[in-house]
Amino acid sequence: MPRASGTTGAPSDKPQRFRGRDRLKKRYEFRRAQLSGRRIHTPHFLIVVQPNALQNTRLGITVTKKVGSAVERNRIKRVVREVFRRNRELFPASHDLVFIAKRGSTRIDYGSLLSELNRAAKKLRPEATR
C-alpha cells in the first residue's frame, strides 16, 4: 500500500530526502560561502553560491529577526528546504548555497519561490561566474 503524503505532484524515482550531509551546519561554512561566493539577488532572497570539494550540493538558510517572528522565520526555512529537496536539478552540483531571506519574504509560498528560482536558474549555474 502506498504511503499517503501531504504533497501534490508527480512521484519521483529518486529519493527526496534532506539529510545532514545536504546542509551547512557550522558557522565557518556559512562564513566561507558568504565571504567568497557569488551573490545572486532575487526578490525575496540573496543567494550565495560557492563551489565545494564534496560530491553533493549543500544548503544553508539564514533568516534574521528583522524578517519576522519566529513562526514566520521557521516557515520561510521550511519552504526553502522543501523547494531544495524536491527540485535538486535547479541547483549546481558540488556547491554550497546560502539563502539569506530579505524583508518581505514572510509571505512567500512554494510556488512563488519555485518560479523565483526558475527565473534565477541561469545565474545559479557555475558557467555564469563571469
Between the alpha carbon of residue 64 and those of residues 11, 15, 61, 99, 102, the distances in Å are: 34, 31, 10, 11, 9
By C-alpha distance, which of 59, 130, 54 is closest to 90?
59
User: 74: domain range?
Assistant: 20-129
Quote the CA–CA distance of 34 and 38 in Å, as a whole number.
Answer: 8
Residue 3 in this model has a pLDDT that exceeds 70: no
Q: Is residue 13 part of a domain?
A: no
For the chain, give the percent of residues with pLDDT over 70: 85
CATH number where 95 lies: 3.30.230.10
**Residue 8 within a domain:** no
CA–CA separation, 96 vs 94, rounded Å?
7
If one counts the domains in the chain, the total is 1
- 27-61 pLDDT per residue, tens: 999 999 999 999 999 999 999 999 999 888 899 99
pTM above 0.85, yes or no: no
Assigned domain for 66 exists: yes
Those residues whose C-beta lies under 8 Å from the C-beta of residue 75, and which sit 6 or more positions away, are 106
| 26 belongs to a structural domain | yes
Residue 79 lies in a domain: yes
In a domain, residue 96? The reply is yes
Distance CA 43, CA 41 (A): 7
Assess whether pLDDT exceeds 80 at residue 20: no
Flag whether 6 is in a domain: no
pLDDT on residue 128: 55
